[in-house]
Amino acid sequence: RSLVPFKKRRHDKSAVWPVWASPIQTFVIPHSHMDVGWVYTIQESMHAYAANVYSSVTEELSKVKERRFIAVEQEFFRLWWDTVASVTQKKQVRQLIKEGRLEFIIGGQVMHDEAVTDLDDDILQMMEGHGFLYETFGVRPQFSWHVDPFGASATTPVLFALAGFNAHLISRIDYDLKDTMQKNKKLQFVWRGSPSLKSQQEIFTHTMDQFSYCTPSYLPFSNRSGFYWNGVALFPDPPKDGIYPNMSLPVTKETVHAYAKTMVENIKQRAAWFRTHHVLWPWGCDKQFYNSSVQFNNMDPLMKYINQNSKEFGVTVQYATLSEYFQAIYQSNLTWEVRGSEDFLPYSTEPYQAWTGFYASRNVLKGVARHASSKLYAAETLFARYRISFPDGPVAKDWALDKLGALRWAVSEVQHHDGITGTESPKVADMYQQHLLQAMMGAEELLAALFLLPHNLMTDVDQALEQHVIVYNPLAWNITTIVNVTVTQPSAAVFDDDGQPVPAQIQGSAHSNATYDLFIVVELGGLQYRKYLIKFPENSKAFEAKAASFERRSVKDRAKAGRRLLPVLSECYELLFDQDTNLLHSITYLEEKRRVMITQDFWEYDANGDVKAGPISDNYIFSANGSAVRAYKAVEMEIIPGKIVTEIRQYFYREESDKDYAYSITTRVPECFGTKLPCHRLEQTYSLGPLSLNTEVVLRTSTSVKNNRTLYSDDNGYQMMKRTYRKFTNNTLARNYFPMVRTAYIEDDLSRLVLVSDRAHGVSSQTDGQLEVMLHRRLWNNLQWNLGYNLTLNDSSVVRPTLWMMLGSVSATSKLYQREAVQLQHRPVVILISTFHTTSQTLPKRGSLLRSVVLPPNLHLLSLSVPGWNYCSNHSVHLNLHSQPDYDRILLRIMHLFEEGEDPELSKPVTINLKEALQGMGEVKGVEERSLTGTWDVTSLQRWKWKTQRTRDDNFTVTISPKEIRTFFVHFVSRNF
């Protein structure tokens, strides 16, 4: 994976380098690429090599002042610092950092994926690492090293700019595009990733050349592995004698000239692709520098020899950190080409190697990771509110911060580019999932404690007759929505905290014959919770919905389609279902009385698993073996009409006579008449699996929308990207797949069909009017490299992703989809508390003392948390502050959801007074604006300005422009109740 594409890539030996007025200045940057996961678990990697990297690098850098090293993934460094490093090593590290010889790059917990990660989680994992580095060493990373993510998103440079970075580095972009950029010396540019923020958050970007982040492994005079003198890491245990396989030929008097010639030729080849006479020469690769003495003791004399003969070679070399390289580029004072908000997705390494399969690999892990992120968001906001209202309350603050810290770590870790991507081995996927599930259990304990402990509830109740539910809205918006509670009784009555009956509906569960779905209409203020009492009398007050079944229909009978149409109505839509196919026929959005023909069903691509028979699909790559075929032969349907929701259940059978269905769609249409329930949202949950081996299954939504195969999908839930269908000489189908993290839509002049998702998927529009979402993959192949690392994707799980669908005019849906995507991500948290032995009299009423906090509709409360960091802006002071965490510093992050010009009203800048907006939480006494990850005071943040073709706010009033994210430390007046 990390190495394979480069081994396969052709190296252009014909490049001609220019004659420079001065020697080419080469910055040799020692680094080790350490995957937080992938083939081996984190524990295995720490034991086999990762701990040795930092131990040996610390020792070797301390010996020779010219040596340098960049540290990238903070998870490994933090594990080493906390569990391995001696007092002496810690002292040496502090000195190396002070001298600028050990430099932290990116500074996040991981090198996050860019295609399938969500904005919330990208920020979180960066903040986790940045907080540790600032608190421990007083340093703030200012450069990125995104060398291995599979494609580059336009959101990442925006986030790095907001975090205070001065330059960004990427590597994996489409092979033919990289070739063109190399030839035209356009590998470096200034990137304005956001079309709304433009130059406000631009960042200089360096694209690595065709050799990428690994030192060339080819030596013309030896069959060993180039400049990796310490060889290949060994699992499970490092060799006791320090002798590893494939250690390279030592640098001696006999070999130094041959080594120098090889290195210089490569440097000159690279120099021809860039505009300045500075060359970034990365020295390292995956799992390198665990035996740094061997590395440096060979490179030292080699570099000395090149510099002694620099006139002959036309090259000088020096050890460098990344900041030293970028400083040299900055001082060259050139004028740079500007790149707009387009991204580098999808990514291909060769004609039949489109890395678009990982958008959908390991659907279960993708879902658990997003669910964990959502749980963390809810727990963070509730604990922050609790700390403000009950600073001396009974929930132990150190215990609470430990629970939050564990989930922060687990959610951060899985953002790794071989984690949430689904490109890891099965045991590593299991590791991520185990960490997430364990940490989520801790967060649920914290939520329960925050809801219950302030009120000293310890009264028994007969659980057979009643159940108590607390529903918490973690968003800073007022909401009216439906929550689903699973119960074991066939009838129920629901009451609010004032004892008033609440609209509810009960029906048989779609997934179990032993349970029932109880739908409850809840109204909640921003950041508020309410208690509901469920009673189970024989005479239910909840509407009991009964199913109407429709007989199984074969696909052979499609000729009869369209004659018997069954309507399902809501205030927004009329849905027509075809009784002759049991499929959706059309949807009319009633406000404009416009009908759109829509059919939804499942199709599958057959994947080749034999490398001798042609291109394969695997964890990474989607290489379709022809067009998709229908994945079923017959469909059954049930419709359950209700007073709150009408549910349509469609079951798809592989064969007409199969007893069990292979796929299903459950569509919930809200019956909103006379309520505040939003009617534009059609909630769909799917069931897929187990799949047949070597199949990739898609949900195909075929419509009468004239989109000309153009679709829009989001970059990381932050911004929408236009995806124009392109024809290629090879692999056109797979190269027109794109990542969908939260949102995708197709549109024409009259209508737009929007899907928002609870996890990442691949999405495409292969024919006019079609929106195709890849939901699940199960693959096996005989590629020796995949077999050796156990990187096949024989995923036999059943997956149940959720999509919400909206249909309407472009202007109507423009007002909705951003908020809907956020509301799907952060649905109300439902806590069943019958096991806590409480009664309705002792439970808190109406969110207790929690007053609502409501932001304007175009602003989203991106974060509200207690980071717990202990530092002050004066570094010399804060490095001695290793006592108690700071529980009173509240981190607030607010985002404007809309693009400039997207909506006549909602796209306008919004001015709010934070003191007034947050008064529902408490009295604000101070606000300090910070960089994205909280480590810079924005008044002291001076990012580099590059040559290319606002006013300050008062203390509490801030203006937030389209797509802007602003971060604050907020201090509240202390109070207790």
Annotated active-site positions, please? 148
Please answer whether residues 230 and 295 qualify as being in contact, where contact means their C-beta atoms are separated by less than 8 angstroms.
yes
CA-CA distance, 275 to 29, in Å (whole number)? 19
CB 757 within 8 A of CB 801: yes
- Residue 953 one-letter amino acid: D
Please check whether residue 203 is in contact with residue 161, taking contact to mean a CB–CB distance below 8 angstroms: yes
Burial 922-957 (b: 16+ CB within 10 A, else e): bebeebbbbbbbbbbeeeeeebeebeeeeeebeebe
Q: Which of 120, 118, 134 is nearest to 380 (CA)?
A: 120
Cα separation, 852 vs 862, whole angstroms:
17
3-state secondary structure of 76: helix
Place of tokens 């047949």: 692
> What tokens does 599 get?
């059919």
Q: How many CB atoms lie within 10 A of CB 873?
A: 12
What type of residue is 447? L
Rounded Cα–Cα distance for residues 745 and 517 (Å): 31
Tell me which amino acid residue 727 is.
Answer: K
Contact, 128 vs 412, CB < 8 A? yes
> In the chain, what are the helix, strand and coil shares in percent, each to the nearest 5?
25, 30, 45
Q: How many residues does the chain have?
A: 977
Helices (H), 800-913: 810-814, 817-825, 875-878
Tell me the C-alpha distance between 90 and 84, whole Å. 10
Residue 58 CA from chain centroid, whole number? 32
CA distance 469 to 830: 7
Tokens of 422: 């689904």
Beta-bridge partner residues of 763? 738, 773
Please provide residue 122's backbone torsions phi and psi, each rounded to the nearest 5 degrees: -60, -45
The Cα–Cα gap between 197 and 718 comes to 12
Q: Which DSSP string corresponds to 813-830?
A: HHTTHHHHHHHHHTPPEE
- With a CB cutoff of 8 Å and minimum separation 6, the contacts of 139 are 97, 104, 133
From CA 151, how far away is CA 169, in angstroms rounded? 12
